[in-house]
Structure 1
Amino acid sequence: MGEPKIRRLDGRFDDPEIETAFMRDSWAGIRVQAALTLIGFSLAWIVSTATDLMYMQDSPYFLPTLSARLLAGSVGLLGGAWVLMARPGSDSRDLPLIVYGWILMSTLTAVIVASVFPTAEATPDGVADVLVFTSSWMSLHVLAIGVALAAFPWGIAFMSIAYMITYLILAVVWNEQSEHPMIAQSVVVVACCFFAWLMAITFSMRARRRFYITRLYEQAKIAAEKAQEFSSFLLAATGHDIRQPIYALDLNASMLEELVDAEQWDKVKPLVQRQKLVASNVASMLSSVLELSYLDNAKRPVTPTTCDAGRLLRDSVSGLKDVALSRGMALHCEPCSARIQVDSGVAGHILSNLISNAITHSKGSRLLVGARRAGQFIDLVVADNGAGMGDRDLFLESRSALARINGGQPLRSGMGMEIMFRLAERGDLALRITSRPGHGVMACLRCPRV
């Protein structure tokens, strides 16, 4: 997986989905940092009104500058406090509106203050001092904002451009009245304004790269945990699935021995054919187990193909009929002509599990395997008339539902449902199991219809 593109103009992911994930993951930090920045710089605006009281009180510009400082400070304090208390989410537009609104007001206030204070000086030396001081606080202010509000690079760009233009105009307008040219200070302000915007972009890009690397690490960690879990699961599934066919082979071998001793040769051949069928079924099962062992890595992705539902059902039933008969259960497979889009290895494994579990644990006399149409899907059904899985009605659709039964304790029915639900998840199939006391269990594996 290549690194996603990050735009250099605003430091954001080009992919909207990844950008949304980043904002959702980083929003808490962005929100707190923005709120504290607004509160801190707003307090600075309010405190700086003392300079208006000292130097501008007799000037006609006193009220505009004082009002601008107080307004920017009040809005920032109230906005920052509201953000801390209301804690708007990443899908809300309130925080960006507050931040960009405050940046606009703060920038206008800075422009007013910078433009007005040189008028209070009567000497070239005083004008020069004011312009030098203005270049210093403008440079520090825009750099600090560029770091503190790096999550809002367009706001930093607006402030940087406004500060830069304002100071260049002041340097030109007051050039004749100043004791010396403001060339060096102008260069500093321009450089700091450009650097502030560049820092905002850089911090945004670094944060997103760090997020993406962390995201890849978390995905790799989850994949490794799932792979380890799947290995344990696959071992359990293999032992669970192969038990019944091995039992059928042993049962057929005993029957063959009895027939040979009784010299009933006419019955030997059909039994040998059934024995070959069971052996073939075991070989197919082992092959599917090997395929399933690759499901959690790139070597064996789930690959749905067009399959004959009737044949899938018949193959799942073929090796277990004798086992069912030996337990006094009639196993019937209904014919089906539907075609489905599934990974045959996964679907066949699930069906084999369902049938094997029903034979072993249902204590019923009949087991029906078939298919039925459900809109754009085909439900592969395994239903028995046994005792059910408990003393109350149950409806299970996922592995998580197993833990919610019996007061949060896992359901211990001996049916290996954990295995079947896990396989259904791997194959992107929907498995539903319904149990009614005294009426048996019905399992439906929903597959896309072709």
Structure 2
Amino acid sequence: MDIIKDLEARGLVQQFTDEEGLKKHLNTNIVTLYCGFDPTADSLHIGHLVPALMLKRFQLAGHRPIALIGGGTGMIGDPSGRSDERQLNDEATVDHFSQQIKKQLAQILDFDKDKNGAVARNNKEWLGTLTLIEFLRDTGKHFGVNYMLAKDSVQSRLENGISFTEFTYMILQSYDFMNLFDKENCTLQIGGSDQWGNITAGMELIRRTRKEGEEAKVFGLTVPLITKADGTKFGKTAGGAVWLDKDKTSPYEFYQFWINTDDRDVIKFIKYFTFLDMEEIAVLEQSVLEAPEKRLAHIRLAEELTVLVHGEEALAQAQHITAALFSGDIKSLTGDEIKQGFKDVPTSVLKRDEQTLVNLLVDAEIAKSKRQAREDIQNGAIYVNGERNQALDHVLLDDDIIDGKYTIIRRGKKKYFMIQFTGA
């Protein structure tokens, strides 16, 4: 498999150093490569998927990936791609974040293969034991201030200000590359396009400090910044970032994010985020042009990503919720599915007791008054768990309360409300 050819066909190469040398290196060796993930939260989000999947692509091509958790650099903060300084977390918090991220990466990469199994490393192992004098003498002396100031990650911050802490981030990341080169024979670093300066700085450090020749030959490759056709930021929704942690972004929300991809972006995202071959992608691209209403490409994208991140069972659940909401068959949903499907609708917590539908609408602030509630019911505007209810004297029965906890009220065509009942 020609990994570079495949990446270029998918539009996944922004820059690389020594194109011909890298291609030869990959074609003649099992190459160890790495990508870093700084633990700035207790979960990765979908913006991290492209570099994580890049590691997987190289692994499938027979190479050996290292997922580097930035337990050390995460204490400092990367200035790349930011207009202001990151909030610094304490050591215990960063350690916790690191453990969570390692677990998520294990869902994507194969850590069990014998020949080219992925490995996880944490740069706190070596950065945490460095003394200041050792760092300045042995590493810092190889970095000219003018050289560092010329890097985009620093240049972009000079106007608003950059602390010395963040200014040294480039040197720390360079030290990572050198350390992995020494201990793991790692010869390729990959990352987002905003990491180009840090990657090439690491290459320069290895060139300066390690023996010349083929033994010290290292490479860098970056992937492009993901952009959306409508100009909005990729990976953001009205509720914030789309996380890989199911407790932050449910599998249903995750599935829906990809289903709702803009038609103009869907094929690009299939190339970026899935492992479908280019022939199958071409067929899906044709379907977008000839039968966009079928949304075959969107469904395939959502299926592939949901299985990859959350598994087959979570995909089946997301599809079940989607089908139930489309058909109005809300009663077929479980309590957990109700929580996922109606996470963002107005919710009222009420005490479980016998009361009429009229009173329930008022107590849950779905209707402003009993008069309005009666009018809405009589006019057929009120649905209980997907079924129209026009009985003014209706009292909620056990069948109306899913898993003994939830009732979904719909008023009109689109206004949903969730009622969560507590014990009587």
Q: TM-score, normalised by structure 2?
A: 0.27
Q: Which has the higher contact order (CA 8 A, sep 6+)?
A: 2
Q: TM-score, normalised by structure 1?
A: 0.26
Structure with bigger gyration radius: 1
Higher helix share: 1
